[in-house]
Structure 1
């Protein structure tokens, strides 16, 4: 029954639109308004063609400019594709005023204004909005709304959607309320994310702050922004915050049971950021064998990148409850050892000075806290065993080949001094003589 009523209303609306179209086709006032629409569009096309190059020059900063003014100019330049439909909309508005003064009617030209507004919305969604979520909302909600507005049936559709109630247990809401909620929430949270990105970039550019403090400040601002966005959405949509008390209680119970690990990791992440014992850029190794450079610290976990480019997601709790070795905390130096052997025919008293001088030539080897130190380690099966200790800034990773470079220096220094590097020799004793032919 309800479906037949909808069909009847739709057919009646179509018949009404057909009558309006016939009236426009037979009315001299309507034809004059069509002519004004064409004139307004041509004028907008001409003005936009002249203004577009000028605006491009004014709103396009240098490629390497990162000031606030440069960012603002780039942001405004994003909306240049809307220039033509908005100019046409403005010129048609001027023509509408003149038409109503002359003919007492401006229905055709008002329809033209709504069409150009629809074109502007479509360009906004298709060419300007880049965020995937906002693009989906624009494509499936904003563009249809603009289309209904252009046809002049938006009020009827909104009234129908407002009368359509969706029951949900003890709660019920209209379809129109749901659409408004999605649009408002999407717009506010998109603005919140944009604000968070801008504030994070500003905080991370403050080099005088410790990296851990920068991360903590960025996370605090992120939580504050999205918290305010949530409260703002609730307030705009008329949802009482007291009605969330039950939901808060459910979340509290969940934290006590299934979500305690998430809460523990979140608190551990805050402690890590406050203490600064491990921060972005540090190379760390955990008791569980996970090792890599910290590239990101989130509310739940810390992401490590290994030498081979793999990412390891480590819960923040592991940094608090287990032993963590930090090889690059606050730019501290690290000590490495390079083992080698020399022949038993060598005057081993000469070896330490030769090796220490050779290793000290490496540009990455430090004099402090200690210069290179060559030590005798033992007498092996094939030769005399030595080891040289040296200090470097950073770690021996994929881009820093400290140990490999030092071994090359040792090899060349020993070769230059005529010192042999031994290799295993084996003596084979035959119990029976070899057969003679």
Structure 2
């Protein structure tokens, strides 16, 4: 309660001091001349910014087809063009401040104007330029208030008061200023780490010479390295000794041993999968529990399978290690299918294999290797002679692929073209005894 009272008292004194300063400026000729210089500096900055905005925008806007490093750098600089006006006003005001101090020995008013232009630049930066949600949040609730306090000349006393306000937390204690710095520095560094991780992941996706498993493993290693370095940087900048984290590390170890066993198991299983490459992004897999789909993402805890009906199935990494997994290798390996059909007993069945094999081989998706189409006699059924043609294709017969349907159409057309009958079931019904008819 006493701390709050002291803070309110200091705030009241600062407000009175600002009021007295404003009144002294109103009655001072030197202050009016500085106000005039502020207006001149702002108008000059406005004129120069209007003339430079168009040429700068054209210079920094690359063609849409350019995606190289230089083009990306130009686009990055382009987003800061809205800062041109306040920064030019700040620069011109700085020149005016040096002039007034040399002439009048005072420049308090024009220095205040400089700080106001800096506040406007911070406001434009947060509202119009920053798009990342985390950085926008920090800018809205930290950067803009700090810039406002700096413009009013209240930043130093407020920071001193925050530094004096100690928050006890068990055996630990820290000041509000330390907590604020930790949030700002930690947020900025981890945002930079996430941005660096996204850029490295996009770069690795373009390396088609690397195996998908190796790309995923490299991306995960880079992610762990980046955020590990970010954590150490935050600890170092904030002056926190890493030896003081030994107790926390022991507590985390105990937690992993008891409550986080599954998480640790899934994490290690994910690393094993990436190292061995038995299942990777792009493969079509079917698990022992019946889950089946294409692996679209492999995370630290689980893999995501996308079925052909659009559903996503989250499968823990441990299931790939401890259960039976059928990998159809949709990422490149060939798969064999067979299409069954029947012909009439009146057909010369010796001609059927060559006829069907030639027809199926015309399909653009059917492979010659490891084996060409192979038509085999399977048996003598109730209604006709049963055959099946085996063929190899790349990919899964589902989703965008319709291998089985296309092959059956080819078989039908080939048999019809050579007047080979495809039988349908016949049933013979025998009636015993005499049939009596009754007249109405």
Tell me what 2:357 maps to.
Answer: 356
Report if the CA contact (8 A) 1:359-1:410 is conserved: yes
Matches of 1:336 and 1:167 in 2, distance apart?
70
Tell me what 2:327 maps to.
Answer: 326
SS in 1 for 2:372: coil
Report if the CA contact (8 A) 1:277-1:329 is conserved: no
More deviation, 255-264/423-432: 423-432
Matches of 1:159 and 1:104 in 2, distance apart?
29
Tell me what 2:210 maps to.
Answer: 209
Matches of 1:112 and 1:76 in 2, distance apart?
26
Report if the CA contact (8 A) 2:7-2:161 is conserved: no
Deviation, 1:435, is 4.0
1:273 partnered with 2:274: yes
1:16 partnered with 2:12: no
Tell me what 2:287 maps to.
Answer: 286
CA RMSD of aligned residues (A): 1.7
Tell me what 1:370 maps to.
Answer: 371
Matches of 2:47 and 2:437 in 1, distance apart?
107
SS in 2 for 1:331: coil
Provide Cα deviations, 1:155-194, integer angstroms capped at 9, x if missing partner.
1111111111111111111111100000000011111111
Matches of 2:104 and 2:288 in 1, distance apart?
85
Report if the CA contact (8 A) 2:383-2:423 is conserved: yes
Q: How is 1:23-62 mapped onto 2 (pairs within 5 angstroms)?
A: 23-62=24-63
Deviation, 1:127, is 1.6
Matches of 2:44 and 2:439 in 1, distance apart?
113
Provide Cα deviations, 1:191-211, integer angstroms capped at 9, x if missing partner.
111111222222232222222
SS in 2 for 1:350: helix
> How many pairs does the alignment contain?
437
Provide Cα deviations, 1:75-95, integer angstroms capped at 9, x if missing partner.
222211111111111111111
More deviation, 68-77/239-248: 68-77
Deviation, 1:405, is 0.7
Provide Cα deviations, 1:202-230, integer angstroms capped at 9, x if missing partner.
22322222221111111111111110110
1:384 partnered with 2:385: yes
Report if the CA contact (8 A) 2:305-2:312 is conserved: yes
Q: Which runs of 5+ in 2 are unaligned?
A: none
What TM-score do the two structures reach when normalised by structure 1? 0.96
Provide Cα deviations, 1:317-337, integer angstroms capped at 9, x if missing partner.
111222222212662111111
Tell me what 1:223 maps to.
Answer: 224
Matches of 2:140 and 2:167 in 1, distance apart?
23
Tell me what 2:187 maps to.
Answer: 186
Report if the CA contact (8 A) 1:162-1:176 is conserved: yes
Report if the CA contact (8 A) 2:90-2:118 is conserved: yes
Matches of 2:336 and 2:174 in 1, distance apart?
67
Tell me what 2:65 maps to.
Answer: 64
Q: How is 1:18-417 mapped onto 2 (pairs within 5 angstroms)?
A: 18-328=19-329, 331-417=332-418
Report if the CA contact (8 A) 1:278-1:329 is conserved: no
SS in 2 for 1:366: coil
Q: Which runs of 5+ in 1 are unaligned?
A: none
More deviation, 213-222/11-20: 11-20
Deviation, 1:359, is 0.7
SS in 1 for 2:349: coil
Matches of 1:433 and 1:240 in 2, distance apart?
107
What TM-score do the two structures reach when normalised by structure 2? 0.95
- Structure 1 residues 33, 350: CA separation in 2 closer, same or farther (over 3 Å shift)? same
